[in-house]
Chains A and B, each alone.
Chain A
Amino acid sequence: MFSTLRRLALLGTGMALLSGCSVSPWVAPYERHYLADPIMAFEMDPVAAGYMNHVYEAREAARGAEGGSGGGCGCN
């Protein structure tokens, strides 16, 4: 439990430090039209993606780190 929290804290601190190294945002808001396209979303529909993660989690031992769409269902 403790080591988990410590790992998360270390990760967060590392990322914060990394972001501090950069100079300024290199992709301006008006340059993001490609990224704003719905086809560029990691998941077009988070609910449907969550279902697929649920299927994988039920049939495979691995779990977690599915990203924004999340996973897990509070079931076994």
Chain B
Amino acid sequence: MKRMISIFPVLALAGLLLVVAACASIKSIPGLPDSHPESLIAGQQINCSECHDNSSKGTMKPLTAFSHTKIFVKNHRYYASSDDRLCSVCHKASFCADCHTNQVEMKPSVKYGYRPDLEMPHRGNYMAVHKIEGKTNPASCYRCHGRANNERCIACHK
């Protein structure tokens, strides 16, 4: 026990030195800029690799990984869950909140009825087919309506 007590200050000092060294090293790690330096055209599918041909400082991923192809838009959850700091360089948080919200007031496709070019869920009269889609792949419903944004679901699903 005494031996443990004598070792403890040494370990604490070593730990402290590691923390200090890590903090000092952090200052040498580059960060992303807080916003895109040039305006981007609203509504345009952006291909980052048109201008960027390498990893951007701070992303550590090639920018081809973030080109907004149709496939990227449909599967953006993978990218957002590991790198939403890069998303926020060009997109405000409200851009995400149009669909990802705790309590939705109206379908995003209604709010943006003048933008049929945008990829948005439940376009048209989805009520009729949701009974089929919900059985085919309920996990896709759960992602948005499982623990939030389900005020309209519980009106019928009691």
Q: Do A and B bind each other?
A: no
> Which residues of A are at the interface with B, using a C-beta cutoff of 8 A?
none
**Interface residues of B, Cβ cutoff 8 Å to A:** none
